Amino acid sequence: MSKVAEYLQDHIRGDVSTSAAMRRHYSYDASTYCQLPQIIVSPLDEQDIRKVTRFAWQLAERGKILPIVARGAGTDIGGAAIGQAIVLATQTYLDKILEFDDKRGLVKLEPGVNFGRLQHILTFSHGSYVPAYPDSLDNSTIGGAIANNSGGERSLRKGAMSNYVKSLRVVLSNGDVIDTQRITKKEMSKKMGLSTFEGEIYRAVDGLLSENSETLSSYVTPSRGGVGYDLKSIRHDNGSVDLTPLFLGSQGTLGVVVRAVIETEKYNSEISQQVFVLSNREVLKELSAQVLADKSINIEYIDCSMLELARSNHKNFLSKELGEALPAGVLLAEYSKMNKRTFDKLTKKYYKKFADLGVNLLEAGEALDFAAKKLKNLPNVLLARQFGALRLVPGIDDAMVAPDSIHEFLVSAEQLFKKSNISVVVHARAGEGIIHAYPLIDLTQLGDRQKLQRLTNDYYKLVLESHGSVVGEYGAGRTRGAFAPMQLGDVMYGLMHRIKQIFDPYGILNPGVKIDVDPKVTASLLRSDYETPHLH
């Protein structure tokens, strides 16, 4: 064990490890990158995290940078949960649900709580849930969901985590602790009068917002806003201020969350669903708009490219339900539970409006329920499979375009995929325009890794040319953080850079992620395999 590790073990109550096995385990997340950490710290409590960050701050004051990466379950697909650093493994001990306020529907908890476990307890004990759950629900942690401002299948109507996180307790880069929530203008004045690091932060943030009010008011934030930091939600017109939005989606680059208070909603598991089989993808725009207008709570589009890959592995995949000849795509729509009369009326409307446009609907019953279940789970099933030497990797798995331009965007993207000589499968949350694309490659081959790097660069340039966002429902991380200057522009990116410097002047917290991302460094971290045993 190194001298630094020995020092930390002597001063904290949790665990410290530099074993090869532990470092190897934490060198991966769900991205295509790998970076070996220096030390693994499993903090027992808030005090442990304060001591570790204070130690790193003191080293930085003497010119030695020892970064800190806060980590949950390692489900991040953008490489934000790895680093040549001290990795704070919050899932080991900081996994307690502390309190549930049934009257107000608020749950207080630690960052290492498994999201799926939380939902299970809330649902079966209190009839509540957090609607902003991600697809990685079973593996991911609450801290990770906050760090990425995660969303998922219910976010079309319910929004991302930013709609539910009411307050945070955060360890700053110097080891101090702050509690964030919305405070009045008068309370803000008191905060600015503090002689502590917290006071410095409030003064600097207030100055930044005041000096750049016109720039911020004219800037249009994407609906999920995962590029940069959420500056527009900090100060309201009445002068009240809340720093919480800055930490949502910050991916551990501004502070380490040690506690959160999250709002819940009443849970209703009953839904009605439709499966639309498309003979032509051009109808997707009109169909999605109609389904959205009919108050659907989730709209999933499965492209023919994904169906073809499923059939290549299982020749009878949904052959009875979708037919022997594959359609151009399938749209799955979910609604709050309807009675039979209302559902039948809606179905007849769709038949009348879209049958002549090459859209077929599966009849209600077991076949529809079975097809819907298989289609929703298909991306996860395919990501876990091997196709000879090839497998799907999350190299370009996140972007957002206008919902009514999905077809046009995919036409351009398919030309790019063909030019890159890489097969790519696609699905989308059609109601929000969130695109998930997975290249099918062999990472053991240098040529494939090089092609993936070129495709990533060209693909996200295409997203920006299409007036989209390089971040959809995941965090920017290393993959998409490199494109933040292009999307935000020099002025807005400069403001994001200043926020990072205000909270982390020495660059201790998760460097190389979200802000100041060096594409050459990122490319050097690309691994020669793609396995995620830590998630199995």
Please name the amino acid found at residue 298: N
Residue 308 falls in which region: left (phi positive, over 0), alpha (psi -120 to 50) or beta: alpha
Which helix or strand (DSSP H or E) is residue 166 part of? strand 165-171
Contact 84, 23 (CB under 8 A): no
| Distance from C-alpha of 291 to C-alpha of 275, rounded to nearest angstrom | 11
Query: Would you state the pLDDT for residue 536?
Result: 55
| Distance from C-alpha of 356 to C-alpha of 350, rounded to nearest angstrom | 10
Per domain, the residue ranges of the chain are: 3-92+496-524, 97-266, 271-465
| Distance from C-alpha of 379 to C-alpha of 309, rounded to nearest angstrom | 11
- Residues 93-104: b if buried by 16+ CB within 10 A, e if exposed: bbbeeeebeeee
Please name the amino acid found at residue 394: P
Token representation of residue 351: 């038949």
CA angle, 386 then 530 then 465, to 5°: 100
Q: Do domains 97-266 and 271-465 have the same CATH topology?
A: no
Give the CATH class of 271-465.
alpha beta
Torsion angles phi and psi, residue 468, rounded to 5: -100, -170
pLDDT in tens, the chain (536 residues): 689 999 999 999 999 999 999 999 999 999 999 999 999 999 999 999 999 999 999 999 999 999 999 999 999 999 999 999 999 999 999 999 999 999 999 999 999 999 999 999 999 999 999 999 999 999 999 999 999 999 999 999 999 999 999 999 999 999 999 999 999 999 999 999 999 999 999 999 999 999 999 999 988 877 676 899 999 999 999 999 999 999 999 999 999 999 999 999 999 889 999 999 999 999 999 999 999 999 999 999 999 999 999 999 888 999 999 989 999 999 999 999 999 999 999 999 999 999 999 999 998 888 899 999 999 999 999 998 999 999 999 989 999 999 999 999 999 999 999 999 999 999 999 999 999 999 999 999 999 999 999 999 999 999 999 999 999 999 999 999 999 999 999 999 999 999 999 999 999 999 999 999 999 999 999 999 887 766 65
CATH tag for 3-92+496-524 (out of 3.40.50.9100, 1.10.630.10, 3.30.43.10, 3.10.180.10): 3.30.43.10
| Distance from C-alpha of 18 to C-alpha of 16, rounded to nearest angstrom | 7
Cα-Cα-Cα-Cα torsion 332, 337, 341, 343, nearest 10 degrees, comes to -10
Query: Would you state the pLDDT for residue 531?
Result: 78
- Residues 174-191: b if buried by 16+ CB within 10 A, e if exposed: bbbbbebebbeeeebeeb
| Distance from C-alpha of 258 to C-alpha of 44, rounded to nearest angstrom | 11
Task: Return the biggest CA–CA distance within the chain.
Answer: 74
CATH architecture of 97-266: 2-Layer Sandwich (3.30)
- Strand arrangement of the beta sheet that strand 15-17 belongs to: 15-17, 39-42, 86-89, 68-71
